[in-house]
Every structure is written in C-alpha cells, then in structure tokens.
Amino acid sequence: MSRTPDSNPPDPHPGRLRTVHVVVSGTVQGVGFRWACIQVAEDLGLVGRVRNRSDGDVEVTAQGEPDDVSRLIAWLHRGPRWSQVMDVAVTDLRPGSVRARSFDVDY
C-alpha cells in the first residue's frame, strides 16, 4: 500500500516542471531497481537521480513534465520484475530545483 498515491490531475499548462523526491520501500535493492528506474526515467525525458539508501530503501529525485513525472511515480509503485514494492512516499519539491541534465545513479 502507498502512503502517498500520486493523485495529481494532468497539468493544464504543459511546459511547466514538476520536481519530486520519492522514497521506495520493500524489496528494492539487489533486484535491478535503480537501473530499471533510469531506463524508465530516460524514456520519459526526465532528469534526476536514483540511489540506494543504507536502510534498504531506494531514493529518487526526478524532474520533468508533470504528466511524465506522474508516469514515473506510477512505475515506482510497481518497480521491475523482481522487486516487491511495499511503500512509496512522494514529496513535491520546488519546481525546477533539480539542476541535472540527465538521469543518473548517485552512489
């Protein structure tokens, strides 16, 4: 179950950015989660980062078109084939606060 489902409606003003910080809990390390997340985020044209946390969770910061960020969040609820997502906590950040030019793994 998710504590914070992504229920934002489609943005009526395309071209605006949405920036989020997401913590994904469950069986999300050692299952290719970060690499699959990068692929999904790149396919959506997002920028940001993904990293494993020492507590076993995965942390994602993503920025892009609001609908595309929502698509990534929906994917984070499922994860890749071998993951088992138990919780997804989404926090919206100030739009445009991510200065990355790509989507990368942060070690």
Decide if 8 is catalytic.
no
Share of the chain residues as helix, strand and coil, in percent rounded to the nearest 5: 25, 35, 45
Alpha helices (runs of H) in the chain, residue ranges in sequence order: 33-44, 66-78
Of 23, 83, 18, the closest CA to residue 50 belongs to 23
Decide if 52 is catalytic.
yes
Q: Annotated catalytic residue: which of 34, 49, 94, 101?
A: 34
Q: Token pair of 83, please?
A: 């993951």
Catalytic sites, residue numbers: 34, 52
